[in-house]
Homo-oligomer: A and B are copies of this chain.
Amino acid sequence: MTDIDIIEGNGEDETPVARVPRGTGRRLHGAVAHKLGTAILSGEYAPGDTLSGEVEFSKTLDVSRSAYREAVQVLTAKGLVESRPKIGTRVLPRSRWNLLDPDVLAWAFAGEPDITFVRGLFELRAIVEPAAAALAAERRERSDLKVMKDSLAAMRRLTLATEAGRAADREFHDAVLTATRNDALIVLSASIGAAVNWTTQFKQRGRALPRNPLPDHMLVYEAIAAGNANAASTAMRTLVDLALEDTKLAMAR
């Protein structure tokens, strides 16, 4: 899959341009936002840099000014850039970025993700997920338990080697979150979890998992089912630590 298509200038036009392609169903401004977003997250544009003017840049990308502007609006909405008349569009300091935005996370992981940032995400996950498990142990309903049980069964049957198996894994974690009845917690943990899973999946192609994660999942489930908040917290903690180990291993090589 190519990211950039170079097309030739036709001799009487301007400079050759880099087209922003898109798969079917993807919008043009979305593709532009993706391109700019990854460029910023990868450090290609550093905080303080000002992008070349709208007219010029849209011409370079071979898109209309409207499409380019809509893309910039997206970046602005995520705190990556700021536009002012006479000044231009400049990249904001990293502290203003919405680093927990799902798209921003995706852009961050599109290239080589910054190690310290990944470590930070794991740290956050290690804080939030055990606490979530504890809350889930206190508040879970019968239906939550059923979903967890079913997804664990699917995990056992399919293993993490298959996509369906990984889906079951995600389903289990989602069920735990849902059981907390805390929307903010759900949203946060879901995006972090997704981002973190990308790293492992990205790095471990073709490599067998170092250890069967099912028993640990079972421990979490049983603690939640028993309503034991402390046990749920510690069990989830070991689960997160295990994932961290795997990722550390994968990123080291």
Contact = CB atoms under 8 A, between A and B. Distances in A.
Interface stretch (A15-23, A149-157, A178-186, A201-209): A178-186
B97 A187 contact: yes
A127 B131 contact: yes
Given A74-B73, A77-B73, A77-B74, A185 B103 contact: no
Given A128-B127, A182-B123, A188 B135 contact: no
A187 B98 contact: yes
A120 B70 contact: no
A188 B123 contact: no
B73 A29 contact: yes
A124 B188 contact: yes
Nearest to A75: B77
Contacts of A181: 120
Given A69-B70, A70-B70, A127-B127, A184 B100 contact: yes
Given A74-B74, A77-B77, A187 B123 contact: no
B78 A183 contact: no
B77 A183 contact: no
Contacts of A123: 135, 182, 184-185
A197 to B, nearest CB: 16
A99 B183 contact: yes
A36 interface: no
6 contacts: A29-B73, A33-B77, A69-B70, A74-B74, A100-B100, A100-B184
